[in-house]
Each structure stands twice: as structure tokens, then as C-alpha cells.
Amino acid sequence: MNNPVTGFSKLSKEEKINWIAKEYFSTPSEAIILLKNYWNSDEKIQKLHDEFIENTITNFYIPLGVAPNFLINGKYSTIPMAIEESSVVAAASKSSKFWSTRGGFKATVLNTEKIGQVHFIFKGDISKLELFFVQTKAKFFAETESITKNMQKRGGGIIDIVLKDKTNLLPNYFQLHATFETKDSMGANFINSCLEQFAKTLKEEALAYDLFSETEKNIQVIMSILSNYVPNCIVRAEVSCPIEELAEKHIENPQDFAERFVQAVQIAEVEPFRAVTHNKGIMNGVDAVVLATGNDFRAVEAGIHAYAAKSGQYSSLSHAKIENGIFTFWLEIPLALGTVGGLTSLHPLVKLSLEMLENPSAKELMQVVAVAGLAQNFAALRSLTTTGIQDGHMKMHLNNILNQFDASDDERILIRKHFKHNAVSHSAVVEMIGNLRK
């Protein structure tokens, strides 16, 4: 049981580390060495990372990998992926190679609308509130002009604001529901600044509105915040080819493969337990690119899973069909991404990832991310419906087990040779290491 600490955020980094080491570790000196080993030797880079968040004590590494040869809309890309799961980049690369000789990936952005809401309580005559809103609407636009000016120059801004009556859900609950176009920025700061100004205008104008009674004038704004649910900010990614072209190693009978594949997708469409894992496989690809490009993966996760449940039942994000001998596999996902603002110009590896993608627009990045998700889903379903997932997974995981046991080079060679022809399991590898070390 440790002692509570006061004023922790005011301590220097050194002092924070010392306190943690003393408080939680049996050998504080070892904890301090480990934490400091992960500091960047370039002080400027370290300072940058220290200042991303509060109370930074060190950096937490995850690998940045790349999946090359992604043919997207006729153009090759190398996709950066930040992820710790051993098989993900390998699976993406396998899919990119497979589809590069079968027409590649097609991706289209269907729309790019973002949403924000001012949630408020109004007690009184709803028809008066509706009239007030119609008469005040222009003011919401006028009073946010200083915020929207630059965005308008880039072709974005506020698309519309509507008053929503939500009193059937909660007594006296209303919203200003606003839609935005934020071009190449994710737009969170822009949207939230507009919303907070809407809230201010709403309260001030209500107070001065002659038709309102004293109670009606007193609008209570509960909160103003963007929504991470963006069902009108959708990107579609697709692959298709004649069934016979699916033939490859482990796909000796392409017709049978295509049918099993479509059935696997249909199962995820109707069965939530499977849908969650199926979509998790998609998110392996989506999150890795979102993270590498400095975007908010929690926002993306929340929005995509809400979209997967939009029918009232959680379901597959991807779909597949066979029509006239053509196999088609596609997904549609909501993605609010930015390629300017936020971390994009701050984090050196984010800048590098974006440059690797040839500095895409937000729409182009949406396409890349959706393709990474579809590629990952294809690789998973391909394994699941043919060899099973463990074969590939455990071969990749073998390395992690060898590292865990600090295997020597000689041990690695012998063990890899053995498991080329034998099923990898944690216990089998541990047993072999034990035998070799006897």
C-alpha cells in the first residue's frame, strides 16, 4: 500500500521517477535505470514527447512497421503501421501482395460530414423555442465567423445547425445539432470552439428574447462537444476478381474457398460474438495506420463500433458476395481523420509516416486506412477458412517466446528448424529450450 502524494505534477521528471521507484519497486535503482533506458538520447525529441502529456516519466515503445506493395486505385503505396501484435504487418503484406496481381484495392470516400452538439435544457413552450431558433440561426453563423474564417478559406466550415427536440428521451432536453466540413483536419478543436460559441450565443440571445418568459429565458447548457459518431463520413474499400483467379497456395479449389469465405462473412453479419472478433481483425489494420499517422484511435474505435451496431444489433463491418462468377469483398467504415493539425506536424515519426504516404489529404488517408482494414480482414478470413489461424500466428509468436527465454543464436536455429515442420505451442517451445539447455 503506497502513500498518497500531493503536488505530483509540480515535481520535476527526475523527482517523479524517484518517488515512483521508491514507492513501488523492491529495487528502485533497477526501475530508474529501466525508465531512463527508454529516454531518447536526443534531448529535443525527448522534450517533445515529455510535453505531449502530463507526468511523462519515459517513452513506451511499440514497433512501427511497413506493409509495401499496396495497389490502391491504381497507385502503389507503402503503408506505415504502429502495432505490437506479431502477425498483423505480415498479414497486411500478404494481402497486399495477393491483391496487387488481382486488380488491387479500390477505395472511395462517400462523404465527409462531421457532427457536434450543444446539449441543453429548456423549460417552456416548444413552439416558442422553435421560433426563437429560426430567428436566431443566422447569429450562430455570424458569431463564429472569427473561428470559421480560415476553415472557410480551405473550403470547410459549418454546414448546418438544426434544433432537435429530444424531450421524448429526457424531460426538457434539446440539442443544437451542427454539421461541419473540416477538410484535411480532423477538426475536433475547430468543432468544439464553434460549439462553445453556439452555446454562448444561445444563452445570451435567449436572455434577450422578448417572447420568452423568465423561466424560458434561462436556458441551461449542459455541454458542448463534437460527436465521434460520424455516420456521414464514410469510406468504402473493395477488392474483386473472377473466382478462378483466387487460386493460390492453400486455395486449390477457388470456388470452394470463395463460398466458405462468403459464409464466414455472413456468420459475422448475423452473429455478434463472431462479429466482434471479425471487426477486431479489421481494427488491427485500421488502428495501426491511424496510430502511425498521429490520429485519434480511440475516436476511430468508438465511432466504428457504433456504426457496426447501427441496425440495433452489432454486426460485421465487411461484406462479401459471389455474383456472375465474380468474388467481391468490401467494407464501409466511418473515419474522421486529419492530415494537418494535432500531432501531424509535431511527432517526428508521424511526419515521416505521412511523408511515406506522400502527404495524403484526409480523404486519401481515409482510403488507405480502410484498405488496411480490409486487407487485414481478408488475411484473417483466408487463414481461418483454410489453414486455421494458429499456424501463421504461432510461427510469428515463436520469436516472442525465443526472446522471452533469451535464446542464443544456436538455439534459435535449431528451434526454428524443428518448428518448420511441427506445430508451435508455448509449452512445446519451452520444452525444447529446456531439453537443449540440459
Give the type of residue at 326.
I
* Cα gap 173→185, rounded to integer Å: 31
Marked catalytic residue, from 13, 85, 143, 363: 85
Position closest to ligand MEV via CB: 281
Rounded least distance, CB 384 to ligand MEV, Å = 6
CA distances (Å), origin 434, targets 168, 396, 403, 406: 67, 21, 14, 12
Task: Transcribe 315-360 into DSSP letters.
Answer: --SEEEEEETTEEEEEEEEE----SBSGGGGTSHHHHHHHHHTTS-
Residues 374-393 that bind ligand MEV (CB under 6 A): 380, 384, 389
Rounded least distance, CB 245 to ligand MEV, Å = 23
Rounded least distance, CB 346 to ligand MEV, Å = 30
Rounded least distance, CB 136 to ligand MEV, Å = 50
Rounded least distance, CB 265 to ligand MEV, Å = 10
Alpha carbon 332 to chain centroid distance? 14
Rounded least distance, CB 260 to ligand MEV, Å = 14
177 belongs to the catalytic site: no
Residues 268-327 that bind ligand MEV (CB under 6 A): 277-278, 280-281, 284
363 belongs to the catalytic site: no
Q: Of 433, 427, 432, 425, which Cα lies nearest the Cα of 393? A: 425
Smaller CB separation from ligand MEV, 380 or 433: 380
Smaller CB separation from ligand MEV, 83 or 415: 83
Number of chain residues interacting with ligand MEV (CB under 6 A): 9
Smaller CB separation from ligand MEV, 228 or 279: 279
- Provide φ and ψ at 180, rounded to 5°: -135, 155
Smaller CB separation from ligand MEV, 163 or 289: 289
Look at the block and give the residue holding cell 474564417.
149
Instruction: Give me the sign of the Cα torsion angle 249, 255, 259, 260.
Output: negative
15 belongs to the catalytic site: no
Rounded least distance, CB 251 to ligand MEV, Å = 17
Marked catalytic residue, from 97, 106, 177, 280: 280
Smaller CB separation from ligand MEV, 11 or 267: 267
373 contributes a contact to ligand MEV by CB under 6 A: no
Smaller CB separation from ligand MEV, 276 or 302: 276
393 belongs to the catalytic site: yes
Task: Transcribe 80-119 into DSSP letters.
Answer: EEE---TTHHHHHHHHHHHHHTTT-BEEEE----EEEEEE
Instruction: Give me the sign of the Cα torsion angle 378, 380, 381, 385.
Output: positive
* Cα gap 182→201, rounded to integer Å: 22
Burial class of residue 214 (count of CB atoms within 10 Å of its CB; 0-12, 13-18, 19+)? exposed
Marked catalytic residue, from 16, 94, 393, 397: 393
Smaller CB separation from ligand MEV, 156 or 392: 392
Q: Where are the alpha helices (DSSP H) in 38-78?
A: 43-50
Contact track, ligand MEV, 30-69, x by CB under 6 A: ----------------------------------------
Q: Of 404, 387, 91, which Cα lies nearest the Cα of 415? A: 404
Q: Which residues bind ligand MEV (CB under 6 A)?
A: 85, 277-278, 280-281, 284, 380, 384, 389
Among all residues, which ones are annotated catalytic? 85, 280, 296, 393
